[in-house]
Structure 1
Amino acid sequence: MRAVVVGGGIGGLVTALALRRVGVEVRVFEQAAVVGTAGAGIQLAPNATRILASLGLLGSVRQVAVAPTSFEFRRWDDGRLLSATPLGPAVLSAYGAPYLHVHRGDLVALLAGAVPVEAGARCVDVSPDGEVVLADGRRERADLVVGADGIHSVVRRSILGAADARFTGHVAYRGLIPADRVAGLPVARTATVRMGPGRHCVHYFVSSGRLLNVVCVVEESRWTRESWTDVGDPLEVRAAFAGWDPVVSALAGALSAPLKWALFDREPIPRWSKDAVTLLGDACHPMLPYGAQGAAQAIEDAFVLAACVADSSDVPAALARYEALRHDRTARVQDLSRGNATRFHLPDGPAQQARDTAIASTNGLSADLDWLYGFDPLTGRA
């Protein structure tokens, strides 16, 4: 079997590696001239790292990652700790795999070193029978085409028609701060979410602890560009978080050239595939980053897709099984992430107090996380 993967991001590269392991000949086309330089920090929960381990990649990922000790929620104005969920040895014992933080560029570089990628190869059209048309005029035919080309997927448009993604009204300012510049601040190796009215701030270390990844999210209706390379005004970030806990103010002040990124998502769709073509990751179930599961769900997709293809030489039947195993799971995670967009930004008052009480009641690893972190993507059960 021959496959073409459109998109050389995390989902596309893990798909290529997983397909190669089951004997599929794979080509990866990436439209960017250089693979893997864009992006900032991502979180890899045990449901993702367990799959990376099965693909023989976890050891290499650990070398460029950070293993956080806990996941914290804190209040916006005084930094008061609302809850701390232990990670580290606790999550490894509970789910058989670690929780890691990694720079997206580090992870993509590692994956791209394990599978050939043709950069600068932009897909402009795909036909359901498996023909891929590139911008330079080439036409490539495959038994299987996987669209892992993001929320504005060309592959999705080709097989399902055009449909705009939904702008959520949230805009993220993000950047990486050298660890020595925050050495005097009380920021530990944790995943920390600081919640406040109409905005929140997330920070955690990546790149073996050399860099602190900072994401500051605000509600804004005017900026609708979804780009990983647009530079925002640092004064806007400082003004948006004026009056917050001094740690947040210091982090906002340290973002000298923050990237500004409008956040989009989509409602779950009933089908992802047509004949020999299917979708994966953000191309079919884009989600807000508020569940820290975007990359993890793409990795799960890749693992399940390869298993379904290995079990059947009938590509449409394999893709039907892939969708059946993935649809409800990814829709639930999309819903969780969208719900957090509201929960994280509640104004101070009764609803916020109830949220904080509920968060405090889950102060520790609990069975509530089993469906997310302990999930077996091939059986659909935790």
Structure 2
Amino acid sequence: DSWAAEGWNHADDPANLRKAFAGFGGRAAALINAVEACTLWGLHLHPVAQTWHQGGVALLGDAAHPTLPFLAQGANMALEDAWVLADSVLNHPAEQALARYQSLRQPRVTRVVKAAAGNAARYHLRPGPLRSAAHLGLKLGSTLAPWAMVGAFNWLYHHDVTAPK
């Protein structure tokens, strides 16, 4: 809870790794116990950038809209960005292309970043009544209306950036 350093290559003590996975057994435990050096990084929520282009240069993917991994959409958002950016540059006047790219993508990626952050909170509920109620709700929902949870993400999974705009 107290660690907040940003970066991808912070050295850590392998004892912390072993402590975190102390309940593992068998081959996994042997592999974890064999670790001699490890690194760690935190997951940090950042806002979607307000400006994605300047001087003929455009940002895409995490450079423009870093997202937490709780929808597994980071790479997909970068690929969608690349498609829309390429389409904008190839099919629109140069002075409008980059602004068009950002205006088409910003609402969607903002929604994805927000949804992933919401999942982060739901996936990391602390043990207690709220977590128990949430798990019961998920179990009941998946049993009684399994289509409902999947359907809630139709906006995400049925989106087609290749469709004409």
Alpha-carbon shift at residue 310 of structure 1 (Å)? 1.4
**Structure 2 residue 16 is matched with structure 1 residue 236:** yes
Equivalent residue in structure 1 for 2:97, among 313, 318, 321 = 318
Q: Which amino acid aligns with 1:254?
A: L
SS of the equivalent of 1:354 reads: helix
Give the direction of change, closer, same or farther, for the CA distance of 1:284–1:370 in structure 2 (3 Å limit): same
Q: Which of 222, 239, 242 pairs up with 2:3?
A: 222
Structure 2 unaligned blocks of 5 or more: none
- Aligned partner of 1:284 in structure 2 is 64
**2:83 matched to 1:303?**
yes
Q: Deviations for 1:273-302, whole angstroms, at most 9, x for unmatched residues?
A: 234222111111011122211111111111
SS in 2 for 1:292: coil
State the identity %: 36
**Cα 1:269/1:225, change in 2 over 3 Å:** closer
CA distance in 2, matches of 1:331, 1:252: 40
- Structure 1 distance, partners of 2:44, 2:164, is 27
Q: Which of these residues, 136, 147, 152, is aligned with residue 368 of structure 1? A: 152
Unaligned runs of 5+ in 1: 1-219
Asked if the contact 1:281/1:294 (under 8 Å) is kept, the reply is yes
Matched, 1:349 2:131: no
Q: What is the root-mean-square deviation in Å for CA atoms of aligned residues?
A: 2.8
| Structure with greater helix share of residues | 2
Distance 1:286 1:334, change over 3 A: same
Normalising by structure 2, report the TM-score.
0.78
| Paired positions, count | 157
Distance 1:265 1:324, change over 3 A: same
In structure 2, the CA distance between the partners of 1:223 and 1:270, relative to structure 1 (3 Å rule), is closer
* Larger proportion of strand: 1
CA contact (8 A) 1:281 1:301 kept: yes
Q: Which residue of 2 aligns with 1:254?
A: 31
In structure 2, the residue matched to 1:103 is: none
C-alpha distance in 2 between matches for 1:328 and 1:291: 17
Q: Which residue of 1 aligns with 2:111?
A: 332
Q: Relative to structure 1, is the Cα distance of residues 334 and 376 closer, same or farther in structure 2, using a 3 angstrom cutoff?
A: same
Q: Deviations over 1:33-64 (max 9, x none)?
A: xxxxxxxxxxxxxxxxxxxxxxxxxxxxxxxx
- What is the distance in 1 between the residues matched to 2:11 and 2:30? 15
Task: Return the TM-score normalized by structure 1.
Answer: 0.37
For 2:48 and 2:164, the matched residues in 1 are separated by 18
Give SS of 2:40's match: strand
